[in-house]
Structure 1
Amino acid sequence: MEWDLFLGRFHPLLVHLPIGFFILGYIFELLLKFGYRSIISSRKIIILTYTVGLLAGIAAALSGWLLSFSDDYPLSALDDHKLLGILTLVVMLILIFYQIKVPAARDTLKLLGSTIVVILIAATGHLGGNLTHGPDYLVEYGPGILRGSQMGLLENSEVNPDSVLIFQDILKPVLQDKCVACHNSEQSRGGLKLESYRDLFKDAEHGKPVVAGNPEKSELFRRISLPAEDDLAMPPRGNSIGYTNIQILKHWIAEGADSLAIFKSDAISGELIALLIRDYGLDYSPRPYYEKVKADSLSEGILKELRNGGFRANYLGENNFLLDVEYGGDSIGEREIQLLNQVSKNITFLKLSGCKLSDEMLEGLSPIPHLTRADLSKNPLTGHSAAYLMEQLHLEAVNLNDTEIDAEALGKLLSESGIARVYIRNTKVSEDEISSLSQNYADKEIIAGFTFEKVPEAKSVFEQSQEE
């Protein structure tokens, strides 16, 4: 049995006694100072209360000293708490001695001494709270100015998520706040230092802190993932780095632990996306292709010529120069195809519905590198149109309703392109072929029309009563 730790763990219980007694004595002293002698008739009551507080403080200090041998707390913070606690007891002893030996001293001077002790008690208690709850416990949910600069640039609500470096902007401040107090050049517990990026890959007594690509073999991740009550858990209990940061560390290590790594939407789990939004205000929800690609703006002259040619053409946003283009005429020709070719690098949505677009005209279109949605419905297009559509590397959805496309062309289109959704109502694809294609391409959405459940014919209340 470890008597030192057993007795030391009574420190949180004992430490409240001197605080309570001394604050009670301080209240008595205020009452005496402001003339409430009917309540406090003698300074001896104040001295007695302070003395009991001093004795309780000595007991609390002894138990705290025993608890310090547990190695559960950062050494530098522990030393600050310990030294300030001893100073508080010494000043408290001097104050009691002064009040006993110099009874004729002015009440104001005695009150000033007591006020100093109260301030010291508050400061000592705050440092003790930091040891068990972490330095941000009091201000964690307060205004940003009180929380300090732990989050660095993440405090700026205007930060671009794509510019956030996982290690530099998130993990490094967390390690500095939670780990470096015990793992630095002067106090490298377990042979581990965490002051710099390079330190993460140096062997320590229990293994490498970080093994790039393998969180389970990374001692740092293993220790911070242990239950708080585990003797090997790090940081010390009550000072956890938090579930979100644990998951960020795991993701960063799994992705290679590069110092310049950033979050990528297609590599982050849904859970981590939600955690980053909640705790850091960083949204890495998967974005459609057209929001990620950059295109140069077009001249006003080209846009004007396009619009005069019967097209509606608009940019997707103030800073997104990809185009949503729709032809408004009922018959498209070679001139209109040439106009589209001039702006093909900017088109992402294209609607050429019901304009007598033929296979030959479609083949005359230049490749559209950023095309994501195409509406080619109500045109005399055949299976030959599939060849052009398969050249569009980022095409996600295409509307082929009321065209002449057949099952063979559709199957080839689904198998050799990245199209995820296709509309084929009123085409040459039969219901049986649609069913077969849907089974073969379960990851694709084939939309051939709408079906409704048959609803029984409604009957009046009178008819129902007659049947009964």
Structure 2
Amino acid sequence: MIPDLLSFIGRFHPLLVHLPIGVLFVAVVFQWMQFRLHKAALTVALVTTLWIGAIGAVLATVTGYLLSQTAEYDREVVDWHQWLGIATAAISCIWLLLYYRPQSRIIHLTISLIVFFLLLITGHLGGTLTHGEGYLSFGGADEDDTVAIVQRKPLPDVNEAVVYTDIVQPVLQARCYSCHGTTRQKGKLRLDEPALLLRGGKNGSVLAEPGGEEAELVRRLLLPLNDKKHMPPKNKTQLTAAETALIHWWVKSGASFDKKVKEVETPEKIKTTLQDLENPMSIAVVAEKPLEPVDAADPKALQALRERGVVILPVSAGSNYLTVNFVSVENASDADVAMLKPLQKQIITLKLADSRITDSAMQIIGSFRNLRTLYLERTPITDKGLARLASLKELQHLNLVGTNISTTGLLSLSTLPALKSMFLYQTAVAKSDWNKLQDSFPRVTLDSGGYQVPILVTDTSRIAPKK
């Protein structure tokens, strides 16, 4: 392990590396201009540029080597990047020295081409180390998207699911692999394989619970968002409260990699979360653009809603965004929805299934500018009320199962830019309109429900004989 001072110097590599890249590209341009124009002034400019570029390349190579010793990156890519970087610095120095000895202009031109291609390849590998594989692809994603958008299908029977493989690993893949996977290993920690997860990072195990304290993995998740040790960093997409709870439960239960849910002791609150994994609206694990920070909700408004029986939870540790659920409120009405007005900036998920809200409440809901998921199953809303949601630019998932909504009402939402899925089982949408809806919502998953599962010869169910 290199001393801390040298490690600190290595951290300057990203700062130093861009200067020689730009300067050497300019030197290549000067070389080609000199080849065509034969100007003495260009020779002076070229030599000056080469001095700056060569010295900068050497400094970038030294700091790059020191940075590589922190072992936070994929070793194979690092090795290629390192040796090509050394080659770039060495050939740049040779190019400079040749200007102090009479040489053929063809030799200078050839060396400039070699440096040009070395810069391209070495720079690309550096980008791969920093931003991940595929960062240069068309429609390339942000750094946080290098883990790709991860979606898992609903679990057919959560009790038969393997806790790590089916529940925990998809969360780690979506939220953690970009910094602790094959490409990067911050803190010398990899979370993409069980053996590496068990090994831990530079500070030791992340799963052990020393002296009854929280395991390091869980502790980092539960730290306040503004704490510099909170994970993921606050500029990344955060885990939801449910995802954090599931990982906490997995670690507390012994962090097994092969046990099924039915084999692990499960608290009641976790059972509810697990059941949600059978619901297609609840199990998407997607790398989304982080929301803009908002102020904390009004404590008095929160207290009043909780006294009414409304369940209000933060979407993740340290976040001011909220999930609001009226599941425990009997006969929730428009007046109850009106109580949400002080929270209109903070609500990201709203669950109003089986409530008695009307179109009047939809006017209020239409002002919740950050709302992403809305459950309206079996409510008496109409097409007129649904049209009032057309202002929800962040809305992604909408559940309208068991409502009287028709094709006319749905078409009023066709301009919503973020919409991803709508659940339309037992609505007033005519079968003959289905193709029209699919044409109007080409990027939206329209779920009509009413699935029929065939009985297989291997099924254990028994059909009673006819009497």
Q: Give the TM-score range, shorter chain.
A: 0.3 to 0.5
Calculate the TM-score normalised by the size of structure 2.
0.45
TM-score, length-normalised on structure 1?
0.45
Between structure 1 and structure 2, the one with the greater Rg is 1
